[in-house]
Structure 1
Amino acid sequence: MAVGGTVRLVVAGAADVDTDELETLTAQLRRRLLELDVDDVRLARSDGPVPDGAKPGELLSVGVLAVTLAPAVIRPVLRLVEAWMTSRPVRTVTVEWDGRTLELGAATPEQQERLLTAFLEGGRAPSDVSSATSEEPPARDQRA
């Protein structure tokens, strides 16, 4: 499979999930993702500063995965993440891909489907879709 890009997944645990449990949850999600036709799934490196007293080198971020995949595999990856979240103490998984961000887990199944479709089509930003329920009229789709 040709490498198409990297999706960054940020797992946010429920209020009572500690760092060790978040690390375990992230490892479980990594194993499940590797069952798909992805090129690689790694713990992501931290972009922040190295804490005082830490050994030199790159820091891994707890709860963050970098998934290398072909664009055709993004939908199955997101579907797996949605299904995986349902039986775990995970509040949200933030997906960063192709300059866009999507937060899974804070919507009804119908809203989630609309958000996912908009995100994958690269049209309106997911925040535009979620705001369609506000008092402002939704943005018109530019496609014919």
Structure 2
Amino acid sequence: MTEGGTLHLVVSGEADVDAEELESLTGQLRRQLLELDVADVRRVRSDDLPPEGAKSGELLAVGALAVSLAPAVLRPVLRLVETWMQNRPVRTVRVELDGRSIEIGHATSEQQQRLLEAFLEGAGASGVSEPPSSGDLRLPAPGQDG
């Protein structure tokens, strides 16, 4: 990503999170993202946008944001999302950029770090031109080894 782009974030709440609570959580994330040096953060209609791999009944609601940003802001945005998820009833945040996606969930710091670095390398955010072999990266589910 050499010029500004749009990062799509899809927030998936735990099964006990209703649409109103998810709307509030997504609003909190939006406000925090706007404090970074991003061009814009807007809500995206997500009524028909279940997270990839979600099983029926697992997730009650999904919130989505589109973040317009410069490449230099990608790393801080991903770190903010990772930190924001802590102690919130959020199952995952799916991040999509330039046809690549990553699913940030509750995992160990080491697993999270490896996954984010691979995504950033593939996005050209750290000067590495070779993307990882997979365009779709995920953290293991809680309790699984990575």
For structure 2, the residue ranges without an aligned partner over 5 or more in a row are 49-60, 123-130
Asked if residue 11 in structure 1 is aligned to residue 15 in structure 2, the reply is no
Pairing 1:13-92 to 2, within 5 Å after superposition: 13-46=13-46, 48=48, 63-92=63-92
> Once superposed, which parts of structure 1, at least 4 consecutive aligned residues long, lie more than 2 Å away?
45-48, 125-130
- Asked if structure 1 preserves the Cα contact closer than 8 Å seen for 2:9 and 2:95, the reply is yes
CA RMSD in angstroms comes to 2.6
Q: Which residue of 1 aligns with 2:120?
A: 120
CA shift for structure 1 position 77: 0.2
Structure ID, larger Rg: 1
Report which stretch shifted further, 120-129 or 105-114: 120-129
**Which structure has more helix as a fraction of its residues?**
1
Question: What is the TM-score of this pair, normalised by structure 2?
Answer: 0.73
- Secondary structure (helix, strand or coil) at the match of 1:115 reads helix
Identical-residue share of aligned pairs (%): 66
Q: How many residues align?
A: 120
Q: Which residue of 1 aligns with 2:55?
A: none
Equivalent-residue separation in structure 2 for 1:15 and 1:47 (angstroms): 16
CA shift for structure 1 position 83: 0.5
CA shift for structure 1 position 106: 4.0
Equivalent-residue separation in structure 1 for 2:42 and 2:96 (angstroms): 15
- Asked if structure 2 preserves the Cα contact closer than 8 Å seen for 1:114 and 1:129, the reply is no
